[in-house]
Structure 1
Amino acid sequence: MSRILSISQPFPRFSVPAVVSLEQGKEFITLNNDSIKGKWSVFFFWPLDFTFVCPTEIAEFNKAIKQFHDRDCELYGASTDSQYVHLAWRKHHEDLKNLEIAMLADNKKELSEALGILHPVEKVPFRATFIVDPEGIIRWVSVNDLSVGRNVKEVIRVLDALQTDELCPCNWEKGQATLN
């Protein structure tokens, strides 16, 4: 298994199709490093479409999208399924029909491989989350095993802490004092 990219490393070069709409003729765009330049980004990967834990996470990130946008941060969800599988899943899963999150289709597995997040046997992404700063540098990484969903509130808490550019103690939350 390759090593997981970590903090202070540049987010890998990528160019992938993404599902951004259910409107016919406007379903797909291509996203790449230029798409994320100059703003905070959160990339969260899930193992497979049409599974059980994954839609709970995607729906929870979508519920929190305003909180991310209020922090000048874009959300990007990804798996190694194709954009066509993503579109079918969105059309047929009630919790995914009104997504405001781009669903990246890393079906060539190039981005997942570059990030080092493919399960060594299953060859699907772990539940990995990356916070990337406006310069394209990874500032936070969290990786869960295939069966364990992540905590969206914790992603927001860490984003808040990173954006203070100050020392934040254990369990720090936005509005609390930072360390001098």
Structure 2
Amino acid sequence: MSLINTEIKPFKAQAYKGGQFVEVTDATLKGKWSVVVFYPADFTFVCPTELEDLADHYEQFQKLGVEIYAVSTDTHFAHKAWHDTSDAIKKVQYTMVGDPTGAITRNFDVMIEEEGLALRGTFLINPEGQIKLCEIHDNGIGRDASELLRKVKAAQYVASHPGEVCPAKWKEGEKTLKPSLSLVGKI
């Protein structure tokens, strides 16, 4: 069963953000657009490159009203230690959620049970708490924050323009489509 258009499941977790430990719940994600990125583990290899890329684009996400939450099965204490010791992770200003029980990771169907680690899952959640985008990568394949930004803009456009859809490679300001009988077989 796909998670698309389903509501996020209840959760409560400890997180590290801006030099503080904070609590994050499913309610925290509601009321605004949220991106939740799962990654395997702190102090690894591809993960810091992805989190740094998101950090480099964080201001652009915020301008769109989007908050970012990075989640791994590490604790919030490990997130702080990683933030304090890695030049790449020092750039991270968004929330780093600890999920040592794996409950959140399982809620989003990205747990590798035999390893106790998450797959590289990316989820876009609308203000109502519904999942609008779900991408899951093999752990050897890193993500691209600029491509995620494009998809966020498309999801926000579609949400605010009922009856319109964004074609492949759509970028902000470009032409959209209005599905209708007159378009069938013409594209």
TM-score, normalised via structure 1 length: 0.92
- Distance in structure 1 (CA, Å) of the matches to 2:7 and 2:119: 20
CA distance in 2, matches of 1:18, 1:111: 13
Give the 5 Å matches for 1:154-165. 154-165=147-158
| Greater RCO (Cα-Cα under 8 Å, separation 6 or more) | 1
- The residue type equivalent to 2:171 in the other structure is E
| 1:7 match | 4
1:168 aligned to 158, 166, 172, which one? Answer: 166
The residue number in structure 1 matching 2:175 is 177
What is the 5 A alignment of 1:20-35?
20-22=17-19, 27-35=20-28
1:120 shift after superposition: 4.0
Structure 2: distance between partners of 1:82 and 1:123 = 13
Corresponding pairs, count: 173
Structure 1's unaligned 5+ residue stretches are none
For residues 17-61 of structure 1, what are the alpha-carbon distances to aligned partners after superposition, in whole Å with 9 as ceiling and x for unaligned? Answer: 000123xxxx20001122122100000011010001000000000
Pair member with larger Rg: 2
- Asked whether 1:16 is paired with 2:4, we answer no
| Residues 1-180 of structure 1 aligned to structure 2 (within 5 Å) | 6-22=3-19, 27-165=20-158, 166-180=164-178
Letter aligned with residue 4 of structure 2: I
Measure, in 2, the Cα distance between the counterparts of 1:70 and 1:94: 25
Structure 1 runs, 4 residues or longer, greater than 4 Å off? none
**CA deviation map 1:110-159 (0-9, x unaligned):** 01011110124322100000000000000000001111111211211111
Distance 1:140 1:78 in 2: 16
Secondary structure in structure 2 of the residue aligned to 1:64: helix
Conserved 8 A contact 2:119-2:138: yes
What is the alpha-carbon distance in structure 1 between the residues aligned to residue 91 and residue 166 of structure 2? 35
- Distance in 1 (alpha carbons) for counterparts of 2:85 and 2:149: 29
Using the size of structure 2 for normalisation, the TM-score is: 0.89
Structure 2, unaligned stretches of length 5 or more? 159-163, 179-187
